[in-house]
Amino acid sequence: MKVTVIVRLKPAILDPQGKTIQHSLEQMGFSEVKDVRIGKIIELNVEGEDEPTVRARAEEFSHKLLANPLMESFEIAVDGR
């Protein structure tokens, strides 16, 4: 099954990379861009019989490896849902 994990910085955490991109865009003439946040999208192919098991395993490995729970939150989709 296709698993997609989106990892975002929590809202209270500053995003210097996003700020840099916003600043570059402004200098390039895209001054209508007011806020930029950068996250990760991790796309995995996961073997498994049923969606609830695959989702539960994905929750587990996302928490343990893909996201830093202190600074990041994550969101999981299995086969697009």
Residues that bind a second copy (CB under 8 A): 6, 8, 18, 21-22, 24-25, 28, 30, 32-48, 54, 57, 60-61, 64-66
Contacts of residue 24, Cβ cutoff 8 Å, sequence gap at least 6: none
CB closer to a second copy, 61 vs 76: 61
Give least dist CB 70 to a second copy, A: 19
CB of 71 to a second copy, least distance (A): 16
Cβ neighbours for 39, distance < 8 A, ≥ 6 positions apart: 6, 7, 8, 9
